[in-house]
Chain A
Amino acid sequence: MILIAGFIIQLLSAGLSVALKIQRRQSALVHGMFAAGLLVSVCGTAWMLLGHAPDISLPDFISADPLSLFFLFVIQLVSLPIVIYSYSYTLPYLENRQSVKPFLIFFLNGVFFTQTVVIVQHAVLFLVCWEFMALTSYLAMVFEKEKPEVQKGSWMYLVMTHISVLFLYVFFLSLYAATGSWLFTDYLREPLAYSGYHYLLIIGFIGFGIKAGFMPFHFWLPQAHPVAPTVLSAFLSGIIIKLGIYGILRMLFMIPPAGAAAGWIILGISMFSAIFGVWYALAQHDLKKLLAYHSIENIGIIGIGIGMTALGMAHHQPSLTALGMAGALLHTLNHAVFKTLLFIGSGVIYQKCHTRDIEKLGGIVHAAPVFVMLFVIGSVAISGLPPLNGFISEFIIYLSFFETAAVIPSFYPLFMLIMTVGLAFVGGLAVICFTKINSVMFLGLPRTERPALSGDRFVYAAMGFLAFMCVFIGLYPESVMALIRSVLAVNDWSIPPDYGDIFSSMRWVFLSVVLFMAGAVFMRYFLLKIRPGRVSKAWACGYRRLNPRMQYTASSYADEMNSLAARFLLYRKNEDTPKRLFPEPSRLESHTGDFGEDTLARPLYKVITRIILSLEWLNRTDIRYYVACILIILVVYTWIAFLWNL
Chain B
Amino acid sequence: MEFVNLILGLLSLLIILFTSPLFAGFINKQKAMLTGRMGPVIWQPYHDLRRLIRKESIYAESASFISRVAPVISFVTVAVAAMMIPIGYTIPLIHFKGDIVLFVYLLGLSRFFQILGAMDIGSSFEGMGAAREATFSVFAEPIYFFTLGSLAFVTGFTSFWDVFHNINLSNPSFIIFIIVCTISAFIMMITECSRMPVDDPNTHLELTMIHEVMILDNAGFDLFLYQYTATIKLMIYGSFLICFLNPFGLSNHALGYVIFAVLTVILSSVIAWVETMTSRFKMKNIPQYLLFAAAIGILNLLIYSFMK
A binds B: yes
From A432, A501, A521, B135 is in contact (CB under 8 Å) with A432
A592 to chain B, nearest CB (A): 17
A488 to chain B, nearest CB (A): 19
Q: Are A516 and B138 in contact (CB under 8 A)?
A: no
Q: Are B153 and A444 in contact (CB under 8 A)?
A: no
Q: Are A517 and B62 in contact (CB under 8 A)?
A: no
- Interface assignment of A311: CB less than 8 Å from any CB of chain B: no
Q: Are A548 and B122 in contact (CB under 8 A)?
A: yes
Q: Are B76 and A513 in contact (CB under 8 A)?
A: yes
Q: Are B111 and A431 in contact (CB under 8 A)?
A: yes
> Chain B, 107-151, contact with A by CB distance < 8 Å: what is the 0/1 string?
011011001100111111111101110110111011011100110
- Interface assignment of B58: CB less than 8 Å from any CB of chain A: yes
Known contacts A365-B66, A443-B64, A538-B61; decide if A556 and B97 are in contact (CB<8 Å). Answer: no
- Interface assignment of A566: CB less than 8 Å from any CB of chain B: no
In the complex the two chains form, what is the Cα distance from A548 to B124 in whole Å? 10
In the complex the two chains form, what is the Cα distance from A535 to B80 in whole Å? 31
Known contacts A521-B72, A539-B216; decide if A432 and B134 are in contact (CB<8 Å). Answer: yes
> Chain A, 504-518, contact with B by CB distance < 8 Å: what is the 0/1 string?
011001001100110
Q: Are A546 and B68 in contact (CB under 8 A)?
A: no
Known contacts A534-B57, A538-B61; decide if A551 and B123 are in contact (CB<8 Å). Answer: yes
B156 to chain A, nearest CB (A): 6
- Interface assignment of B158: CB less than 8 Å from any CB of chain A: yes
Q: Chain B contacts of A385 at CB under 8 A? A: 105, 108-109, 112
Tier of interface size on chain B: 35 or more
Q: How many residues in A have their beta carbons less than 8 Å from beta carbons of B?
A: 82
Closest to B134 in A: A432
Q: Chain B contacts of A425 at CB under 8 A? A: 138, 141-142
Q: Are A502 and B131 in contact (CB under 8 A)?
A: no
From B124, B142, B146, B302, A551 is in contact (CB under 8 Å) with B124
Known contacts A444-B119, A528-B68, A538-B217; decide if A561 and B135 are in contact (CB<8 Å). Answer: yes
Closest to A525 in B: B68
- Interface assignment of A531: CB less than 8 Å from any CB of chain B: yes
Can you list 6 A-B pairs with a CB-CB distance of less than 8 A?
Answer: A402-B158, A418-B298, A421-B145, A427-B141, A536-B61, A557-B127
Q: Chain A contacts of B128 at CB under 8 A? A: 552
- Interface assignment of B166: CB less than 8 Å from any CB of chain A: no
From A365, A413, A416, A499, B64 is in contact (CB under 8 Å) with A365
Q: Are B112 and A435 in contact (CB under 8 A)?
A: yes
In the complex the two chains form, what is the Cα distance from A421 to B298 in whole Å? 10
Q: Chain A contacts of B96 at CB under 8 A? A: 501-502, 505-506
User: Which residues 373-412 of A have a CB within 8 angstroms of B?
Assistant: 376, 380, 383-386, 391, 395, 398-399, 402, 405-406, 411
- Interface assignment of A537: CB less than 8 Å from any CB of chain B: yes
Closest to A548 in B: B122
- Interface assignment of B69: CB less than 8 Å from any CB of chain A: yes
User: Which residues 531-547 of A have a CB within 8 angstroms of B?
Assistant: 531, 533-541, 545-546
Known contacts A365-B64, A538-B217; decide if A414 and B305 are in contact (CB<8 Å). Answer: yes
Main secondary structure of the interface of A (DSSP, over half): helix
Q: Are B123 and A546 in contact (CB under 8 A)?
A: yes
- Interface assignment of B102: CB less than 8 Å from any CB of chain A: yes
In the complex the two chains form, what is the Cα distance from A527 to B79 in whole Å? 20
The 8 lowest CB-CB distance pairs between A and B, nearest first, are A552-B127, A444-B122, A439-B119, A533-B57, A538-B60, A428-B138, A505-B96, A365-B64
Q: Are B122 and A546 in contact (CB under 8 A)?
A: yes
Known contacts A365-B64, A501-B96; decide if A435 and B141 are in contact (CB<8 Å). Answer: no
From A414, A424, A517, B76 is in contact (CB under 8 Å) with A517
From B73, B102, B127, B152, A395 is in contact (CB under 8 Å) with B102
- Interface assignment of B94: CB less than 8 Å from any CB of chain A: yes
Q: Which of B57, B68, B302 has the most CB of A within 10 A?
A: B57
- Interface assignment of B221: CB less than 8 Å from any CB of chain A: yes
User: Which residues 141-186 of B have a CB within 8 angstroms of A?
Assistant: 141-142, 144-146, 149-150, 152-154, 156, 158
A544 to chain B, nearest CB (A): 12
In the complex the two chains form, what is the Cα distance from A432 to B111 in whole Å? 10
Q: Are A427 and B105 in contact (CB under 8 A)?
A: yes
Known contacts A399-B98, A550-B123; decide if A538 and B105 are in contact (CB<8 Å). Answer: no
Q: Chain A contacts of B302 at CB under 8 A? A: 414
- How many A-B contacts if CB must be within 8 Å? 236
- Interface assignment of B208: CB less than 8 Å from any CB of chain A: no
Q: Are A550 and B138 in contact (CB under 8 A)?
A: no
From B68, B98, B294, A402 is in contact (CB under 8 Å) with B98
Closest to B305 in A: A414
A182 to chain B, nearest CB (A): 44
- Interface assignment of B101: CB less than 8 Å from any CB of chain A: yes
Q: Chain A contacts of B146 at CB under 8 A? A: 417, 421
Q: Chain B contacts of A83 at CB under 8 A? A: none
In the complex the two chains form, what is the Cα distance from A107 to B156 in whole Å? 51
Q: Chain A contacts of B142 at CB under 8 A? A: 421, 424-425, 428
In the complex the two chains form, what is the Cα distance from A365 to B122 in whole Å? 12
A389 to chain B, nearest CB (A): 13
Q: Chain B contacts of A516 at CB under 8 A? A: 76, 79-80
A445 to chain B, nearest CB (A): 5
In the complex the two chains form, what is the Cα distance from A556 to B77 in whole Å? 28
In the complex the two chains form, what is the Cα distance from A372 to B96 in whole Å? 34
Q: Are A506 and B102 in contact (CB under 8 A)?
A: yes
From B135, B153, B217, A539 is in contact (CB under 8 Å) with B217
Known contacts A391-B105, A432-B138; decide if A564 and B287 are in contact (CB<8 Å). Answer: yes
From B102, B221, B294, B298, A509 is in contact (CB under 8 Å) with B102
Q: Chain B contacts of A556 at CB under 8 A? A: 127, 131
- Interface assignment of A520: CB less than 8 Å from any CB of chain B: yes
From B64, B101, B150, B298, A398 is in contact (CB under 8 Å) with B101
Q: Are A533 and B220 in contact (CB under 8 A)?
A: yes
> Chain B, 50-71, contact with A by CB distance < 8 Å: what is the 0/1 string?
0000001111111111101100
Q: Are B145 and A431 in contact (CB under 8 A)?
A: no
User: Which residues 405-455 of A have a CB within 8 angstroms of B?
Assistant: 405-406, 411, 413-414, 416-418, 420-421, 424-425, 427-429, 431-432, 434-436, 438-440, 443-445
In the complex the two chains form, what is the Cα distance from A334 to B19 in whole Å? 40
In the complex the two chains form, what is the Cα distance from A613 to B133 in whole Å? 54
Q: Chain B contacts of A505 at CB under 8 A? A: 94, 96
Q: Chain A contacts of B111 at CB under 8 A? A: 431
- Interface assignment of A560: CB less than 8 Å from any CB of chain B: yes
Q: Are A546 and B97 in contact (CB under 8 A)?
A: no
- Interface assignment of B301: CB less than 8 Å from any CB of chain A: yes
From A417, A438, A445, B301 is in contact (CB under 8 Å) with A417
- Interface assignment of B206: CB less than 8 Å from any CB of chain A: yes
B260 to chain A, nearest CB (A): 24
